[in-house]
Amino acid sequence: MYKLNAGFRWASWPQPESKVITLTLPPENSHSDIEKLEEQQVSKVAELPNSSQIDVNNDVTKTSSEQQLEYLLSNLLKYGVLIASAVVLLGGILYLIHHGGEPARYQFFRGEPLQFRSPAGVVEAVLSGSDAYDGLRLRGIIQLGLLLLIATPILRVVISLLAFLLKGEFIYVIVTLLVLASLTYSLLGAYY
């Protein structure tokens, strides 16, 4: 039941008597189209061109190859960051064990050694034998961990590029190539 107040006024003095009208709505039709749609159990509403599906809740379900690619990329990022962090932590702990008691000498600025200005130099410093300066090798381990951390998202972009090429989605290939070009330029721009 609904009540309608016909005597509503914006005034500060007492309101005159108002009439109350009662409306009775007819009962709903139990065979309406909406109820028929709700009763139907639809497993799939639409099929998309790339064989993905939209289910009843408007969630896009992915094909098995899309799920595998997503799983691969998420694991690459997760394990890449964990491995890079472990290498940096190991190098830092070893460096502090061997050189933690040395006093810091901040009187003169010492730039980064030449070995650490390129990825090949970092790998060479890590692989140097015991005849090399120990601090240089331990700092190389830390730098290698940082290089692994930088290489992880770049490898993700490369794998995405290959996946888009295999699927034939050329718009995504172009976008991924632009991202890869900007990453490459930012890394190599420091050397040239």
pLDDT in tens, 102-115: 887 888 887 777 77
**Interior angle at CA 187, CA 134 and CA 126, nearest 5:** 15
User: Could you tell me the pLDDT band of residue 12, with boundaries at 50, 70 and 90?
Assistant: low
Q: How many domains does the chain have?
A: 1
pTM comes to 0.62
Q: Is 76 part of a structural domain of the chain? A: yes
Distances (CA, A) of 159 to 41, 60, 169: 39, 23, 14
Residue ranges making up the domain that contains 170: 67-100+112-188
Q: Is 80 part of a structural domain of the chain? A: yes
| Cα–Cα distance for residue pair 86/93, rounded to 1 Å | 10
| Cα–Cα distance for residue pair 163/108, rounded to 1 Å | 50
The stretch 63-80 carries a mean pLDDT of 88
